[in-house]
Amino acid sequence: MRVSKPVLLRILVVVVILHAGFIAFLWWAMRQPPEIFAGVMTRLPAPVVFVLAPFDTLWTQARAGSLRAGDPAPDFVLMKLDHSERIQLSSMTSHQPVVLVFGSYT
């Protein structure tokens, strides 16, 4: 059974459009809050995502952010380590300098 060139061309166009749509969907998902992105990723088979899309490149660009040196830090709320209360960054900055350490020195 031979397939004509116009049919092959149509199939190729459909595959390219589906692939571009998949990558656009991943790009959209990566720019959502972590809860939404996690919900999307749990429904996709991991090998498909990492083989069919340039995941690392998309992730690096989607999560790069737009803060530059000298910009004020975005306001956020965190729970204290002992879970006694929540603290908002903006409530602390007027009293004293704030240093955030993400990691462990033990």
pLDDT per residue as tens digits for the range 68-90? 888 887 888 888 889 999 988 88
pLDDT per residue as tens digits for the range 44-73? 888 888 888 898 888 888 878 788 888 887
Instruction: Determine if the pTM surpasses 0.75.
Output: no
CA 7 to chain centroid, in Å, comes to 37
CA–CA separation, 18 and 24 (whole Å): 10
CA–CA separation, 24 and 54 (whole Å): 11
| Residue 35 contacts residue 29 (beta carbons within 8 Å) | no
